[in-house]
Amino acid sequence: MEEELVIKLKIYKGKLFALFLVLIIFVFVYGTCLVLAISYKDKVQPNLYIGDLGIGGMEKQELQSFLQKMYARVLSEGIKFSYKAENETRSFVLFPVIVAGEDSVELLSLDTSKETNRLVNYQKDRSVFLQAIKILPTLFGKKRVNLENISLQEDKLSFQLAEKISQNSVKPKNAGVKINSISPLDYEITPAQSGTLYNLDEAVQMVKESVQMLDFGNIYINSSAQVPVILESDVQSAISKLEILLNNSGFKLTYTNNETKQEYSWTFGPKEFKDLIELQKLDNQFVFGLNKEKTIVYLEKVIGTEINVEPENAKFKIGENGKVTEFKGSRAGIKLDTEKNYDLLNQQLIEQNQLLPDSKPKIIGIQFTEAVPKVSTGEVNDLGIKDMLGVGVSDYSNSPTNRIKNIKNAVNKLNGVLIKPGEEFSTISYTAPFTLEGGYYPELVIKGDEMKPEVGGGLCQIGTTLFRMAMNSGMPITQRRNHSLVVGHYNDPVNHLPGTDATVYDPIPDFRFLNDTGNYVLIQTFLDVKNQDVIFTLWGTSDGRKGFYTHPIVLNWIPAGEPKDIETTKLEPGKKTCQNAFRGANTTFTYTRILPDGTKEDKVFDSYYRPLPKICLVGVAAVVTSSTSDGILPEGGLEVQTVVE
């Protein structure tokens, strides 16, 4: 019994000793951890390395100073690169900050403040014990970390590297064909060439990794030989397809402006694409397609400059006279989609490799994208002026100086005009008075046997543009008369035939339309000096109506007749002033309105233009001629195109 008690006592003492020993160890470990945590509270934990550089135990200020010095070093010494070219190793230095005049490009930056805070607090915890537990292993071995608060402009760095080695970087060149003439076909096959390309993406990543480890040693840019895909023999095997391709008529590229309804077209035939052709490998076959880089440049230059427009935000301000003094309707931006157009044209050209010659070009619609403006028209006014209802366009190219001044004056008078609900708009009411005081200039017309200046010549350009605008807006036309003569300025903008014009001459005829939308409408005018177009836009609240008109048809042309000379003493003897001949015509077109309830209204406009022969005034001495008007001045006060011989 006593022996059992002794054994139990020994066991109890052993357990008590073990417990005491564990307690001693715990107190030691905890104390050590506590000491470590307190010691490294504001320091980097021990044995921490950035690459091969130790920063363990550094205080915050010391670490920040260290990082700043290392960053200053790379700024001053730059980053060293080397590469192999022509069987020798070449090297250069690229500095992280490139200064060009007053501007600078920063390829690399290090936020030393953020990085210092990160490293000082690396693996530290709110719990002192847990923090010490994380620190403890670092006493017995190195711990490497990379810098994180680095900003590297990878694209810019790649560009700088490319510039440094551009003279040695050679892209492989496929064999191709150079077309000297189409008819007769004359070409030469250009040879293939091997190339050498440098792995710049890899070099950029090496820069990033080196900076993260503060290792500013040399960075080697690897290169590889590049073999061309298409050889001379491949081109020769496909030459028969080239002959087929160049005998086809090609393509007609089209684009319709949704606002003005103007149609644009460009020819893209053998003459245009012969310098863009390249041989391509498709499904293990060789076909002729389009070089992407060259084609995109061509599309931007020929088409992009014509259709690209930036999106415009709306502006609206009404002056004291009730006229809108500042207005800009919101307009979506148009951008030529070069990628889609290239893919489309390339595919179509490849298909024509196999087609029989066709005299009719294939029509392809130009692809584009739209960008929405930030401020819409309806957000800047409370009159319901928010929708573009319709646009009218006319051409004033090759007009005399005074005619252009008169057009510009009338354009300014009409810009910002608000038309009330139910109001009948009158062109004359808003553009008069047709006097010098009203801002108009004299323009020559023929009356009888002499040329006389008449103030306000050119106003028919205004009536014609308003007529087209009103029709495209679906407005009821209440008064319109065509000109007496066929004049090129007023020909239809799409098929360039007469019939969609409207004459204006004080007091009659006038051009008028009715605002039956139930809301205010606004006229916005614009003189496109570059393309020499007059553009009028009608804004308001769309009620769902649609308006459009067919392109005019000439039923028959009427010969101008024999030229006629009229003698006059108003000119110096021997001097001759002539007015051009005008063919007559009978034309027709249909204006269609589709009302909000779906009702369709058609109105046919028939126009008769009388013929007029070439008439010249010839100066003679002491010859009296009749002063009676011979009716040369057409109705509507049409200014007459003249030439002096």
Assign 3-class secondary structure to 419-456: ECCCCEEEHHHHHCCCCCCCCCCEEEEEECCEEEEEEC
In terms of DSSP H, where are the helices of 94-166?
112-120, 128-135, 154-165
Query: How long, in residues, is the chain?
Result: 645
Is residue 30 included in any domain, yes or no? no
Q: Are 158 and 201 in contact (CB under 8 A)?
A: yes
Whole-number mean pLDDT of the chain?
82
pLDDT above 90 (res 498):
yes
Poorest-pLDDT segment among 97-106, 260-269, 497-506: 97-106
| Higher pLDDT, residue 366 or 629 | 366
Query: Beta strand 417-419 with 521-528: parallel, antiparallel or unpaired?
Result: antiparallel
Q: Up-side HSE of residue 182: CA atoms within 13 Å toward CB?
A: 14
Coil, helix or strand at residue 315: strand
Is residue 617 included in any domain, yes or no? yes
pLDDT tens readout for residues 575-605 = 988 878 889 999 999 999 999 999 999 999 9
Give the pLDDT band (50/70/90) at residue 633. very low
Examine the domain organization and report whether 287 and 343 are in the same domain.
Answer: yes
The H or E element that residue 554 is part of is strand 553-558
Give the pLDDT band (50/70/90) at residue 377. low
Is residue 249 included in any domain, yes or no? yes
Average pLDDT over residues 495-520: 90
Residue with tokens 């002056």: 319
**Which among 187-201, 435-449, 542-556 has the top mean pLDDT?**
542-556
pLDDT score for 630:
37
pLDDT above 70 (res 445):
no
Q: Decide which of 317, 342, 371 is a domain's last residue.
A: 371
Backbone phi and psi for residue 240, each to the nearest 5 degrees, phi listed first: -60, -30
Q: What share of the chain is helix, strand, coil (3-state, %, to 5)?
A: 30, 35, 40
Examine the domain organization and report whether 257 and 221 are in the same domain.
Answer: no
Is residue 29 included in any domain, yes or no? no
Query: Beta strand 277-282 with 285-290: parallel, antiparallel or unpaired?
Result: antiparallel
pLDDT above 50 (res 643):
no
pLDDT score for 641:
39
- Number of H helices and number of E strands within the chain? 15, 40
- Shortest CA distance to 465 belongs to which of 492, 496, 444? 492
Coil, helix or strand at residue 566: strand
Examine the domain organization and report whether 406 and 542 are in the same domain.
Answer: yes
Examine the domain organization and report whether 168 and 254 are in the same domain.
Answer: no
d(CA 426, CA 513): 7
Q: Are 632 and 446 in contact (CB under 8 A)?
A: yes
Examine the domain organization and report whether 416 and 358 are in the same domain.
Answer: no
Q: Decide which of 312, 342, 371 is a domain's last residue.
A: 371
Burial of 564 (0-12, 13-18, 19+ CB in 10 A): middle
pLDDT tens readout for residues 536-553 = 999 988 999 999 999 999
Average pLDDT over residues 608-634: 66
Examine the domain organization and report whether 476 and 620 are in the same domain.
Answer: yes
Give the pLDDT band (50/70/90) at residue 389. very high
d(CA 49, CA 62): 15
pLDDT tens readout for residues 196-247 = 888 999 999 999 998 888 888 899 999 888 888 889 888 888 888 888 888 8
Query: Beta strand 324-328 with 315-318: parallel, antiparallel or unpaired?
Result: antiparallel
Examine the domain organization and report whether 172 and 222 are in the same domain.
Answer: yes
Count: domains in the chain: 3
pLDDT score for 51:
86
pLDDT score for 478:
96
- Shortest CA distance to 610 belongs to which of 464, 494, 498? 498
pLDDT score for 392:
93
CA-atom Rg of the chain in angstroms? 42
d(CA 509, CA 427): 10
Examine the domain organization and report whether 203 and 275 are in the same domain.
Answer: no
- Shortest CA distance to 614 belongs to which of 561, 568, 574? 561
Residues with Cβ within 8 Å of 4's Cβ and at least 6 positions away in sequence, in order, are none
Examine the domain organization and report whether 417 and 310 are in the same domain.
Answer: no
Sheet holding 48-50, edge to edge: 53-54, 48-50, 143-145
**pTM as predicted:** 0.50
pLDDT score for 41:
72
pLDDT score for 604:
96
**295 torsion bin: left (phi>0), alpha (psi -120 to 50), beta (else):** alpha
pLDDT score for 44:
84
d(CA 469, CA 414): 13
Examine the domain organization and report whether 268 and 208 are in the same domain.
Answer: no
Q: What is the DSSP string of 585-609?
A: EEEEEEEEEE-TTS-EEEEEEEEEE
Residue ranges making up the domain that contains 397:
383-644
pLDDT tens readout for residues 149-176 = 988 888 888 888 888 888 787 888 888 8
Q: Decide which of 310, 339, 371 is a domain's last residue.
A: 371
d(CA 368, CA 365): 9
Examine the domain organization and report whether 118 and 251 are in the same domain.
Answer: no
Is residue 220 included in any domain, yes or no? yes
Give the pLDDT band (50/70/90) at residue 318. low
Q: How many CB atoms lie within 10 A of CB 280?
A: 21
Is residue 393 included in any domain, yes or no? yes
b or e along 52-70 (b: 16 or more beta carbons within 10 Å of the residue's beta carbon)?
Answer: eeebbebeeeebbebbeeb
Is residue 442 included in any domain, yes or no? yes
d(CA 216, CA 81): 10
pLDDT score for 635:
39
The H or E element that residue 299 is part of is helix 292-299
CATH number for the domain harbouring residue 265: 3.10.20
Residue type, 208: K
pLDDT score for 327:
60
pLDDT above 90 (res 25):
no
Q: Are 396 and 530 in contact (CB under 8 A)?
A: no
Examine the domain organization and report whether 270 and 219 are in the same domain.
Answer: no
Distance between alpha carbon 433 and the CA centroid of its chain, in Å? 42
Is residue 143 included in any domain, yes or no? yes
